[in-house]
């Protein structure tokens, strides 16, 4: 999906706003439709990742948690952030010229404080943290990297970040296999829970390392020439 969006944006640069707007609307519409269609409560106090194990065999949980189209926004917002970073760094796009950025930049911090104090369970609280981090990311684009950013952008930590993401994706699969092996009436004590945490973490990182070395890196090298042909990078000559 991300590759398709990037190719579309590259082919039609004047329509980038419409493309991202439609994508954001779809990312809100799909889970909203599922919630309405199955008559679910719009606000779930616990995280969906915690509640899925109690309802993992219910039909509606398969429509919300399993399909990738239900969490399209998670991937789309990363694409938008990368696009803004690229345009700002390489084409000197002025974020301050856009009223939406100015408004969010001005109000996100007070709203974060107000929402955090007033409610810890509402949906806005969960979303405002992501918006706050995103705005902080945009603020740091034009600033020269400090010590922390230089360390985080090092080759070691960026590689570790990719490996950690692979482990994050796989940990859910590992937990499902562990649960399938357990009896329904089995008792979970503290020692068993702690052992599961270490087992899931170790197996997920081992599987993530295999995915990173055997799938992600070879695929990047394989499709990189094709991406370069489809979306050639236009480097402007520096003025002397």
Please report which confidence band the pLDDT of residue 47 belongs to, taking 50, 70 and 90 as the band edges.
Answer: low
Residue spans of the domains in the chain: they are 1-150, 154-239
pLDDT given at position 141: 77
pLDDT given at position 69: 60
Please report which confidence band the pLDDT of residue 23 belongs to, taking 50, 70 and 90 as the band edges.
Answer: confident
| Mean pLDDT for the stretch of residues 105-126 | 74
Of 71-75, 156-160, 198-202, which range is least confident? 71-75
Please report which confidence band the pLDDT of residue 49 belongs to, taking 50, 70 and 90 as the band edges.
Answer: low
pLDDT given at position 213: 86
- Examine the pLDDT at 56 and tell me if it is beyond 70: no
Mean pLDDT of the chain: 77
> What percent of the chain clears pLDDT 70, i.e. is strictly above it?
79
| Mean pLDDT for the stretch of residues 131-136 | 82
Nearest alpha-carbon partner for 84 in 72, 73, 96, 93:
93
pLDDT given at position 238: 46
| Mean pLDDT for the stretch of residues 56-72 | 62
pTM of the predicted model as reported, rounded to 2 decimal places: 0.43
pLDDT given at position 240: 43
| Mean pLDDT for the stretch of residues 152-175 | 85
């Amino acid at each position: 999906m991300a590759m398709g969006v990037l190719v579309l944006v590259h082919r039609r640069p004047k329509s980038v706003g419409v493309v991202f707007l439609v994508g954001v609307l779809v990312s809100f519409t799909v889970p909203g439709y599922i919630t309405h269609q199955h008559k679910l409560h719009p606000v779930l106090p616990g995280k969906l990742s915690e509640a899925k194990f109690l309802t993992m065999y219910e039909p509606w949980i398969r429509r919300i948690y399993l399909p990738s189209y239900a969490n399209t926004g998670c991937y789309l917002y990363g694409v938008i952030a990368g696009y803004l970073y690229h345009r700002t760094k390489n084409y000197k796009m002025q974020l301050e010229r856009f009223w939406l950025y100015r408004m969010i930049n001005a109000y996100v911090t007070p709203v974060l404080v107000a929402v955090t104090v007033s409610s810890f369970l509402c949906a806005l609280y969960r979303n405002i943290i992501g918006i706050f981090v995103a705005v902080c990311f945009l603020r740091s684009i034009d600033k020269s990297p400090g010590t922390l950013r230089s360390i985080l952008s090092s080759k070691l930590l960026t590689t570790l970040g990719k490996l950690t993401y692979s482990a994050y994706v796989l940990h859910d699969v590992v937990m499902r296999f562990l649960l399938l092996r357990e009896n329904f009436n089995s008792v979970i004590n503290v020692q068993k829970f702690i052992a599961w945490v270490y087992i899931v973490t170790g197996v997920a990182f081992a599987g993530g390392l295999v995915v990173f070395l055997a799938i992600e890196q070879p695929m990047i090298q394989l499709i990189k020439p094709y991406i370069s042909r489809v979306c050639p990078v236009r480097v402007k000559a520096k003025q002397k």
